[in-house]
Amino acid sequence: MKRLLLPIILISFAAVCLSIVHIDNVNKLDTQSNELRKKHQKNILDNQVDDSLIIEPSTK
């Protein structure tokens, strides 16, 4: 049993460290995604405003 204790502890520690790093990376990606989404929405709104200023001649 003593021979298995150290490898189990090391594997458990590595799994905890990797999960912490993974959660941190997901949070960073979520922040970047939100920033890009806001930027994209702003560009869409700007394009809609620009398009609404264009006066198209009506055809009869």
Q: What is the mean pLDDT of each run of 10 residues along the chain (60 residues)?
A: 90 96 95 92 74 60
**Structure confidence at residue 55 (pLDDT):** 60
**Structure confidence at residue 18 (pLDDT):** 96
| pTM score | 0.58
Helix (H) or strand (E) holding 57: none
Q: State the SS3 of 9-50.
A: HHHHHHHHHHHHHHHHHHHHHHHHHHHHHHHHHHHHHHHHHH
d(CA 21, CA 30): 14
Please give the angle made by the CA atoms of 54, 56 and 60, to the nearest 5 degrees. Answer: 170
**Structure confidence at residue 11 (pLDDT):** 97
**Structure confidence at residue 46 (pLDDT):** 76
